[in-house]
Chain A
Amino acid sequence: MAVILEKVYYKYDVDDNTSEEYGIFDISMTVEQGRTVGIIGKTGSGKSTLMQHLNALYLPQKGKVTIGEFVVDRKSKDLKNLRKKVGMVFQYPEDQLFEETIYNDLAFGPKNLGLTNDQIENAIKGAMEDLELDFESMKDRSPYELSGGQKRKVAIASVLAMNPEILVLDEPTAGLDPKSKKDLLNLLISIKNKRNLTLFFVSHNMDDVFLLTEYVYVMCDGRINFEGSVDEVFQENKKLRDLDLGVPFSVEVLELLEKRGMYNGPLKPMELEELADLIKDILRGNND
């Protein structure tokens, strides 16, 4: 499903006409079906507010949000069908687990959608498989006895069990250990491809954004400050730093090499393998 936002405004304090403080301000974006989009910006820049417009937890006060065949504006009602299509993984999603068994927790969403028991079981099996959680051995365990990384996976599976077409992830790797983090990112990439999801990825971690997404929106003070493909956005190292953001590790390394006069190519973000090759070339003296 494609997502189109047209001049969306949202103010927290609607009645206060004097306040110029918008949660988000004049946001327009078009995201085609199957794309992976990153949203970056410092704390308080409006990322979360924007995110919550994507499944109508917030309704735009001005402008409209079109998600597939659903049009959401100020007066929209009956949003359940829309929420079916948009899976939302909040920060620290494991805080939402509440059932006695993993199976029941995963069943909560599909049940709310009114699926039959067979459909629910299939949805749960599918979601757990996608997150590499073993159905048979885990379904009757309590979600609270799992490790942090496993809990996170269960929480994400609980959203996937609703078979969304759009998945919105807010800092999905925050607070995980390095290995769980890497595993989860890889899983997310394969889930995205397998399910042909439209993916929104909100993060402070530029390396994660680079790894996962194709197109990036940079937010500041409730507006989209600039946008572009991953390569374009991360080459704007100065602009990003001005917005209190960082750049991927590879760009940082290239900057340092440039400072030492060893490199004068574009400050393009790249995977570590590619970076290693490049450094090897530089050291061998055939830099261009």
Chain B
Amino acid sequence: MIKDITIGQYIYKDSVVHKLDPRTKILASMFFMFGIFLINNISEYIFVLILSALTIIMSQIPVMKILKGLKPILPLMMITVIMNMFFTQGTVIFSWAFINITREGIYLAGFMGIRIFFLIIFTSLLTLTTSPITLTNGIEGLLTPLKRFKVPSHEIAMMMSIALRFIPTLIDETDKIMKAQKARGADFESGNIIKRTKSLVPILIPLFISAFTRADELAMAMEARGYRGDEGRTRFKELNYKTIDKIILLIFALILIFLIIRKIIL
């Protein structure tokens, strides 16, 4: 049960999208995210659909895998859609008891649904085509200019990669402690929410303790191997923008700029 949690869903394929610089992918996804909230008519949504489809085809990732990423977000999507549908003011087209459904509400709900859909598709495409380590490297790369403002970009990236690295370890650990407490008669499955939350204490405390011990040991081991933070540290894989990265960034940036200018003018 607990083993089903997968984080870092990276699927290896030899595709153009996989080979892009992670910074390109992160920036393009961010531009896409902003952009999707600026478009507002059907033809533009069709353009987004084509863009997403094209990216998916180029990435060689099976469509089903990408749609699977939608599943956990589904409740959130539903809530957003329903909220928008019921609580938007405007021309009432259907009314029953205290519920008013407006024309504007339906439009907004539809658009919101579609926006979240594309948002998730695109971000899962990012994590499906970029390994967690490359991703953190990319984030570090993007944060580097902020160093001037004392943003500890290297440390943030290192923390992220260590966190990712230890997720499976912690899952194993949780599994083990859960079993041990179960063998001592603990019951995690029955009772009301308060009782169930309380029943987590015997898992969480040992888990925290071992996590802290582990962190301490890891810090020691890193120091012993000469880790001194960012300074003078070289890397095995240098990040490099290639021509294709520049083209893609340019396309996404231009689209976003166009959308922003339109928003301001109109």
Contact = CB atoms under 8 A, between A and B. Distances in A.
- Top 9 closest A-B pairs, CB basis? A112-B185, A88-B183, A98-B205, A96-B180, A109-B184, A98-B202, A90-B180, A98-B206, A109-B185
Given A83-B182, A95-B180, A162-B185, 11 more contacts: A87-B183, A90-B176, A90-B179, A90-B180, A90-B183, A95-B206, A96-B180, A98-B205, A108-B185, A112-B186, A112-B187
Contact of A159 (B177, B183, B206): B183
A80 interface: yes
Contacts of B179: 52, 57, 90
Interface residues of A, number: 23
Interface of B: 173, 176-177, 179-187, 201-202, 205-206, 209-210
Given A90-B176, A90-B180, A95 B210 contact: yes
Contact of B187 (A80, A88, A93): A80
A90 B184 CA distance: 11
A185 B47 CA distance: 73
A39 B178 CA distance: 23
A142 B181 CA distance: 18
5 contacts: A96-B177, A96-B184, A98-B205, A112-B184, A113-B185
A97 interface: yes
A36 interface: no
A98 B201 CA distance: 8
Contacts of B176: 90, 95
Interface in A191-209: none
Interface in A151-196: 158-159, 162
Contacts of A88: 180, 183
Interface of A: 52, 55, 57, 80, 83-84, 86-88, 90, 93, 95-98, 108-109, 112-113, 144, 158-159, 162
B204 to A, nearest CB: 8
B181 to A, nearest CB: 6
A109 B187 CA distance: 11
A167 to B, nearest CB: 11
A96 B210 CA distance: 10
Contact of A108 (B173, B184, B209, B210): B184
Nearest to A94: B206
A100 to B, nearest CB: 10
A96 B182 contact: no
A74 B247 CA distance: 58
A87 B184 CA distance: 8
B184 A159 contact: yes
B52 to A, nearest CB: 31
A93 B179 CA distance: 11
A83 B202 contact: no
A52 B176 CA distance: 11
A95 B183 CA distance: 14
A3 B180 CA distance: 21
A50 to B, nearest CB: 14
- Most B C-beta atoms less than 10 A away, residue of A57, A95, A144, A162: A95
Given A96-B177, A108-B202, A83 B209 contact: no
